[in-house]
């Protein structure tokens, strides 16, 4: 596209031939809009989104975003060829073709960003900034002002230590850094998706995915900064001082990150395990490089720093196997047939579906209490993540029902009071005459 001075553009808009050309452009754009909508509806009806794979779906979505710019460019190119045969060269049509091309570039950039980053509020603002930047650059180029703006930016110097970089070089470098980081994050997301489908331990998959992301982002920065003109050796002293400062100031945070990698690598804690640590008990829902999320049976989520999991005693109810023993205490009166009571307690335990048949539920005489004999029932379950209150309640309700049927007494605390050295009885009063 050849740049057009602003005053020449104003003069062209005052001509009758230009108005005719604008009318033709408007009709062509309306036709392009209708045709692109028709093609979108036909494409959606011919192949459902659920029947397509991930790559095919991305290709269809990307093509739908480009239908209007591509249709407009095709129709305008055809119209320009016909118009040139009967009139002079249609300059405005070529300008609109360039605008549609810029629109297609903007839509593809935003589409790529939406695939790399999860949908977020900041992405809409970023989309607006990208579009504004590309349209502004196009407008400056169309008005033949862009070379002067680039030259002015190139003469504005910014000091970075002993180096001086122009504003234009910094803008180019920022664009390159953004592009390389986007590519690095997209590649890391692709690697993570492949690793998550690989037949290996879940903790190892998470570690490899995060290490690949860090390595790709670091490699992108190392490749981009020299292209911008920033000498990496000049940053070595600053990086060393920054590392020492971060080492002291962020000691706890770094300890949590290191502990996170240790937990993921040694596989002592896995997602789904039921653990108890530092007074918190819950099922592991998420393991990050800084903290671990536990969900208690009541639904409350606790965020536990990884350093606590490494430096404290952790009770993992599913480390080697998921079998957990539950103990329930029942008290009976001293006059009770203890052997019969033990047999009834074991029968009640066998009746519950969550109680494992092996090891066999077993009841024992635990101790002699002040008010009665303490019996203990031990049962084994394999699903501690489902909680223990429900099974305790069900088994104990059945024991209570059976004891009432058998006439077995569950005693309650009783106290016998004896009076030592009772006071003398009051003398009887003689009856009067």
70-126: pLDDT as tens digits: 887 888 788 777 777 666 666 677 777 777 777 777 777 777 666 666 555 555 556
Give the DSSP H/E element, type plus range, for residue 20: helix 16-46
Which structure tokens are listed for 148? 């002067």
SS (H, E, C) 130-156: HHHHHHHHHHHHHCCCHHHHHHHHHHC
> Which among 66, 79, 58, 73 is positioned nearest to 39, based on CA atoms?
66
Helix, strand, coil tally for the chain in percent (to 5): 60, 15, 25
What is the C-alpha separation between 345 and 339, in angstroms, rounded? 10
Q: Tell me how crowded residue 278 is: count the other CB atoms within 10 A of its CB.
A: 13
Do residues 296 and 280 lie in contact, with contact meaning Cβ atoms separated by under 8 Å? yes
pLDDT at 428: 58
What is the C-alpha separation between 274 and 281, in angstroms, rounded? 7
Torsion of CA 179, 180, 182, 186, to 10 degrees: 140
What is the C-alpha separation between 27 and 155, in angstroms, rounded? 45
What is the C-alpha separation between 30 and 22, in angstroms, rounded? 12
Do residues 372 and 403 lie in contact, with contact meaning Cβ atoms separated by under 8 Å? no
Q: pLDDT 10s per residue in the chain (433 long)?
A: 445 555 555 555 555 566 677 777 788 888 878 887 777 777 666 655 444 444 455 556 656 677 777 887 888 788 777 777 666 666 677 777 777 777 777 777 777 666 666 555 555 556 667 667 776 777 676 666 667 777 777 777 766 556 666 777 777 777 777 777 777 777 777 777 777 776 666 666 777 777 777 777 777 777 776 666 666 565 565 566 556 665 665 677 778 778 887 887 777 888 888 888 888 888 888 888 788 899 887 788 888 988 888 888 888 877 777 788 889 999 999 989 999 999 999 999 988 888 988 889 999 999 998 888 999 999 998 888 777 888 999 999 999 999 999 899 888 877 777 777 777 766 655 555 5
Q: Tell me how crowded residue 252 is: count the other CB atoms within 10 A of its CB.
A: 10
Rg of the chain over all Cα atoms, to the nearest angstrom: 39
Do residues 264 and 211 lie in contact, with contact meaning Cβ atoms separated by under 8 Å? no
Which structure tokens are listed for 149? 């703006």
> Which among 246, 131, 239, 112 is positioned nearest to 179, based on CA atoms?
112
Which structure tokens are listed for 365? 């005489």
Which structure tokens are listed for 355? 């109680």
Domains in the chain with CATH codes: 6-155 (no CATH), 176-249 (no CATH), 257-316 (2.30.30.60), 324-406 (3.30.70.100)
Exposure of 157 in the CB half-sphere (CA atoms within 13 A): 6
375 bridge partner residues: 330, 365
Which structure tokens are listed for 107? 């839509």
> Which among 182, 184, 158 is positioned nearest to 170, based on CA atoms?
158
- Torsion angles phi and psi, residue 197, rounded to 5: -95, -5
Which pTM value belongs to this model? 0.42
Q: Tell me how crowded residue 348 is: count the other CB atoms within 10 A of its CB.
A: 26
Report which DSSP code applies to 370.
Answer: S
pLDDT, tens only, 164-176: 667 777 777 777 7
pLDDT, tens only, 180-207: 777 777 777 777 777 777 666 666 677 7
Do residues 329 and 366 lie in contact, with contact meaning Cβ atoms separated by under 8 Å? yes
316 bridge partner residues: 275
Q: Could you tell me how many helices (H) and strands (E) the chain has, helices first?
A: 13, 10
What angle do helix axes 91-116 and 121-142 make, rounded to 10 degrees?
Answer: 160
Contacts of 123 (CB under 8 A, 6+ apart): 113, 114, 117
Which structure tokens are listed for 210? 């995060």
CA 243 to chain centre: 29
pLDDT at 395: 92
What is the C-alpha separation between 420 and 66, in angstroms, rounded? 103
Strands 324-332 and 373-381: antiparallel
pLDDT at 49: 46
First to last CA, the chain: 143
């Amino acid at each position: 596209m050849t740049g057009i001075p602003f005053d020449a553009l104003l003069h062209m808009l005052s001509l009758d031939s230009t108005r005719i050309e604008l009318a033709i452009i408007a009709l062509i754009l309306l036709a392009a809009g209708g045709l692109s909508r028709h093609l979108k509806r036909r494409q959606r009806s011919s192949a459902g989104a659920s029947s397509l794979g991930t790559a095919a779906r991305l290709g269809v979505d990307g093509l739908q975003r480009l239908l209007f710019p591509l249709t407009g460019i095709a129709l305008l190119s055809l119209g320009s060829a016909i118009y040139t045969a009967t009139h002079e060269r249609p300059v405005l049509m070529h300008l609109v073709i360039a605008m549609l091309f810029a629109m297609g570039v903007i839509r593809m950039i935003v589409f790529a960003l939406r695939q790399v980053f999860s949908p977020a509020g900041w992405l809409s603002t970023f989309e607006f900034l990208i579009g504004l930047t590309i349209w502004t650059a196009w407008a400056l180029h169309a008005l033949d002002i862009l070379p002067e703006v680039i030259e002015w930016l190139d003469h504005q110097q910014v000091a970075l230590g002993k180096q001086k970089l122009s504003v234009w070089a910094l803008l180019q470098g920022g664009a390159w850094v953004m592009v390389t980081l986007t590519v690095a994050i997209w590649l890391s997301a692709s690697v993570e998706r492949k690793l998550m489908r690989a037949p290996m331990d879940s903790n190892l998959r998470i570690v490899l995915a995060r290490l690949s992301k860090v390595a790709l982002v670091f490699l992108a920065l190392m490749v981009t900064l020299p292209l911008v003109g920033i000498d990496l050796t000049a940053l070595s002293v600053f990086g060393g001082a920054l590392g020492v400062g971060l080492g002291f100031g962020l000691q706890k945070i770094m300890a949590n990150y290191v502990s996170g990698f240790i937990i993921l690598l040694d596989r002592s804690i896995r997602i789904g395990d039921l653990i108890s640590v530092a007074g918190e008990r819950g099922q592991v829902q998420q393991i990050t490089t800084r903290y671990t999320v536990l969900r208690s049976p009541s639904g409350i989520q606790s965020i536990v720093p990884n350093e606590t999991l490494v430096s404290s005693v952790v009770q993992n109810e599913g480390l080697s196997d998921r079998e957990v023993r539950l103990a329930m205490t029942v008290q009976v009166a001293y006059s009770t047939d203890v052997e019969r009571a033990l047999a009834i307690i074991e029968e009640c335990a066998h009746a519950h579906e969550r109680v494992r048949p092996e090891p066999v539920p077993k009841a024992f005489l635990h101790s002699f209490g002040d008010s009665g004999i303490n019996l203990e029932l031990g049962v084994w379950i394999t699903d501690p993540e489902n909680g223990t209150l429900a099974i305790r309640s069900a088994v104990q309700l059945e024991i209570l029902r059976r004891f009432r049927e058998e006439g077995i007494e569950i005693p309650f605390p009783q106290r016998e009071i004896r009076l030592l050295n009772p006071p003398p009885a009051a003398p009887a009063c003689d009856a009067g005459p």
